[in-house]
Structure 1
Amino acid sequence: MSDRLPVFPLSTVLFPGLVLPLHIFEERYRTLVRELVAQSGETPHEFGVVTLKHGSEVAPEPGDDDPVPAAPAVSAADLYDVGCTAELRHVTELPDGRFDIMTVGRRRFSVVSVDQGSEPYLTAQVRWLPEEEEAGEIAQLLAPRVLTAFRTYLDLLRPNSEMLDQVPDDPTVLSHLVAATAQLTVEERQLLLAMPDTASRLRAELRLLNREAGLLARVRAVPVPLSDLARPASPN
């Protein structure tokens, strides 16, 4: 089954269950937010988030006295094939008509075709990807190993991180959290989003986490000048 869906191209990868705040200033996406808010309560207030392979996700935000720049054209070739819907959870309209919105990833889809012109914003014909009602036996066996690897990775990356106390043990939720928060490339995150099931995603994440933990351990073992240690840590 395929459906037509409003699409917001971004430079990030959204996963089901993960929070995505956005600042909306382009008029075409202001229109989208207004339309979503006006929908009935029975209709999911959601739009598609698809990751850009290259190019700019939106026009630069203009200054107070600057003209609104033209929105960049986006084609199917600029986008990855798999995305995730973002469901509106909170909308704040600012005095000048812009919006601050809070969304949560909801369901995955593959892009069949892209249309730019019939609506002010980008739309796509999408096919919904099947989701597991419950993680299978292999995923249940992999989840504790991935959780241990993720804790090791986080402890190396950010010692005493509060996230260590908030890591879920549900296999599917865990797989999405690891994919969204580990320091991976966009291409790696996109591959994880497109995985056919939780077990496949967890298996790939176990390899990636072990790789990243090994790299971090080697970096920490290299002596550095005391002056470098005195610098504040980067939040990234």
Structure 2
Amino acid sequence: MTARLPVFPLGTVLFPGLVLPLHIFEERYRALVRHLLSLPEDAPREFGVVAIRAGWEVAPTGPDGQPLPGGDVTLHEVGCTAELRQVTERPDGGFDIVTVGKRRFRVADVDRDAEPYLTADVEWLPEPGGPDEVADLLAARVISVFRQYLGLIRADDEGLSEQLPEDPTVLSHLVAATAVLTVADRQRLLAIDDTAARLRAELRLLNREAALLRQVRAVPVPLAELASPPTPN
């Protein structure tokens, strides 16, 4: 079964249950927010967030403010819907919004012409239901390794460690969104349908990242000098 969604390309990956605040300044996405606000109160105010494979979050424009040719983006195949929770309109006509990730989907077809913003036909991906002994066991291991990992990347990890969820699926999404991973790593985790398989993948990634952090700390160079330059997103 497919559904039609407005689509917001971003240089990040959204996971179910995670909060995503956005500053909306491009006119095409202002139109998207206005469309969502115009829906009936009982209608789901959701749009799809899909990570960019190639291209730019902000479309290049000419002197007249219109998008230039070649500004299209290539999207990853799997995304997550963002449910509109809070909207603040700015004096310049833009919006500050707060959204929460809801459900995963696979992009079947993208329409670049029907609306000012992208729309897509999407297929909903299955979510696990019911108890899973394997996932429960893996969740306990992931919590242990994740706490060790947090101790390597920050001094104030105690508050987050105490708040780690026990539900394996919720935990898997939180770890994927919180760990310092590449977009490609996060995208692979989002695309995994099975919670146990996602937790296994996260164990491998956390062990890899912890080993790298220990190695970097052994190098007599300030961490700031090894950091990647910030992205404009």
In the superposition, the TM-score normalised over structure 1's length comes to: 0.88
Structure-to-structure mapping, 1:174-193, within 5 angstroms: 174-193=171-190
The residue identity in structure 1 corresponding to 2:181 is: L
SS at match of 2:53: coil
1:146 equivalent to 2:142? Answer yes
Q: Report the 3-state secondary structure (helix = DSSP H, G, I; strand = E; otherwise coil) of the residue aligned with 1:215.
A: helix
CA contact (8 A) 1:8 1:47 kept: yes
Distance between the aligned counterparts of 1:139 and 1:229, measured in 2? 35
Q: Does 1:156 align with 2:152?
A: yes
Q: CA deviation at 1:59?
A: 2.7
2:119 aligned with 1:123:
yes
| 2-structure distance, mates of 1:128, 1:23 | 27
In the alignment, structure 2 segments of 5+ residues that lack a partner are none
In the alignment, is the contact (CA less than 8 A) between 2:55 and 2:71 conserved in 1?
no
* Cα distance in 1 between the residues matched to 2:224 and 2:128: 48
Query: Structure 1 residues 126, 212: CA separation in 2 closer, same or farther (over 3 Å shift)?
Result: same
Runs of 4+ in 1 over 4 A off after TM superposition: 228-231
1:229 to partner: Cα distance:
8.5
Shift of 1:165: 2.6
Q: Secondary structure at the match of 1:183?
A: coil
Alignment of 1:56-135 (within 5 A): 56-59=56-59, 67-70=64-67, 73-74=71-72, 78-135=74-131
Query: Do structure 1's residue 35 and structure 2's residue 32 form an aligned pair?
Result: no
Which residue is 2:132 aligned to?
Answer: 136
2:168 corresponds to which residue? 171
SS at match of 1:164: helix
Whole-Å Cα distance in 1 between the matches of residues 184 and 10 of structure 2?
A: 13
Contact 2:176 2:202 in 1 (8 A): yes
Shift of 1:164: 2.2
For residues 90 and 117 of structure 2, the distance between their equivalents in structure 1, rounded to whole angstroms, comes to 20
**Aligned-CA RMSD value:** 2.3
Deviations along 1:158-216, whole A, 9 cap, x unmatched? 12323223222211111001111111111110000000111110000001101111111
Corresponding letter in the other structure for 1:190: Q
Deviation digits for residues 73-118 of structure 1 (CA, Å, limit 9, x no counterpart): 436xx11100000000000001111000000000000000000111
Confirm whether residue 14 of structure 1 aligns to residue 11 of structure 2: no
Cα 1:207/1:95, change in 2 over 3 Å: same
Residue 125 of structure 1 aligns to a residue in which SS? strand
* Structure 1 unmatched runs, 5+: none
State the 1:67 CA deviation: 4.9
Distance 1:197 1:169 in 2: 17
Deviation at 1:68, TM superposition (A): 2.7
Matches of 2:91 and 2:179 in 1, distance apart?
Answer: 37
The count of corresponding residues between Structure 1 and Structure 2 is: 226
* Partner SS for 1:207: helix
